[in-house]
Structure 1
């Protein structure tokens, strides 16, 4: 039974995706197929995944590409819904997942700040109060009236991270979003994440960088083929992952 300190509960969750959009279902599938069985052209991105997260925990989600890590974060962010099981999130989420999504190419940087912050629940008054801090953090003051489409990929990440990191939601979801940022700004963002953690936030962090995982996380969830194969201390999770992926030769 979940405790009062559990902010995320994932219970026997599974989610299916289509491999081939042209895959056809037979007449028999339509009327006799089980909804829990994979149909032709479908695969389970996650299956039978269960765990809980307590308030203030810092979780590293690890695994090879295509094993369900990003899908898991999107389930917690309620971007997608499970096909079986359920996900319960008891506190608000600040999603640093595909953070440049939602920005409008033809709008200026200034207008995009207000638009994106508003989409995440900030009022115009709140954005007004934090606007200077957002721009200063992103180091993008000379481009306020530049159309967003003219920004480099690194500049896009800067402004997006700066906006999202101003949200006061208790749960932070981070999915390799800073990979395109320059080293100096990436370190600046990481210090900001540490500040948020020191303030009691809960962290879900997807990364292939072991140094970053050790820096932020105390607990690791190791996914393999869409299933949770290890849940425990981050060092043990990384050792298990390293052992499983080592070249036999």
Structure 2
């Protein structure tokens, strides 16, 4: 078995989209048959390379627009890179993100089955975990309600509960550990600790540096789509804090 759960080499990804300031004029040009509409390009990921061993818990940090969520979506095979290679050496991968993997017209119960089946479980295996998932998420009697009626917090709690109770081999978490009340946050951290003890591979994106430092073996710091540093958690977090503080001083 390959010692690495995830291998990324020279990954590049660019977004192309119309500048929102010019959308009206661009639509007018298209209506008039003029095709030369301008697009804005954003280099979301630039020459990103790293490896994650099986059972490692890796934190991904950086400011808004650094490429953190984009990276997780590439690892989850939602986005295709422009160039480079991405090897995720396991079929049991779950992206825990707001709205990811959910069918909002379906009831919550159907979404639990759907996610379980996509992770390779049988219907009976999912059924055996239903009570635990519902109890942990706290959605209670709403289990048969369509997901579109759920609040953002309820959807996040349900996603977390599905992932942590079905237990995929690779768990990608995008900024939802902070949802819910303090009691749920404590339960969430405890569940992550359980996964760590079971040698699950976890990639955790969060702005909460204390949580990252507490839970992660290593940290990857992204800035404008580039890897600034990767290594032991406290060291990389210290580098990142120094960078942020220096930028604040320069702007003062």
Q: TM-score, normalised by structure 2?
A: 0.84
1:192-211 matched pairs, under 5 angstroms: 192-211=191-210
Q: Which residue of 2 aligns with 1:10?
A: 8
Q: Which runs of 5+ in 1 are unaligned?
A: 24-38
Q: Which residue of 1 aligns with 2:85?
A: 86
Partner secondary structure for residue 9 of structure 1: strand
1:151-194 alpha-carbon deviations (Å, 9 max, x no partner): 22222222222112223321111110233322211211111111
Q: Which residue of 2 aligns with 1:52?
A: 51
Superposed CA RMSD: 2.1
Q: Which residue of 2 aligns with 1:63?
A: 62
Aligned length, in residue pairs = 231
Q: Distance in 2 between matches of 1:72 and 1:105?
A: 24
Partner secondary structure for residue 172 of structure 2: strand
1:61-118 alpha-carbon deviations (Å, 9 max, x no partner): 11111011111111111111110111001123122123x3343444333233223333
CA contact (8 A) 1:14 1:47 kept: yes
Q: Distance in 2 between matches of 1:151 and 1:40?
A: 36
CA contact (8 A) 1:94 1:167 kept: no
Q: Which residue of 2 aligns with 1:20?
A: 18
Against the structure 1 CA distance between its residues 19 and 149, is the aligned structure 2 distance closer, same or farther, given a 3 Å change threshold? closer
Any runs of at least 4 consecutive aligned residues in structure 1 with deviations exceeding 4 A, and if so which? none
1:167 corresponds to 2:169:
no
Q: Distance in 2 between matches of 1:95 and 1:105?
A: 16
Q: Distance in 2 between matches of 1:107 and 1:46?
A: 34
Q: Which residue of 2 aligns with 1:121?
A: 120
1:81-160 matched pairs, under 5 angstroms: 81-91=80-90, 92-98=92-98, 100-160=99-159
Partner secondary structure for residue 87 of structure 1: strand
Q: TM-score, normalised by structure 1?
A: 0.85
CA contact (8 A) 1:69 1:206 kept: yes
Against the structure 1 CA distance between its residues 113 and 40, is the aligned structure 2 distance closer, same or farther, given a 3 Å change threshold? closer
Q: How far did residue 40 of structure 1 move?
A: 5.4
Q: Which runs of 5+ in 2 are unaligned?
A: 27-37
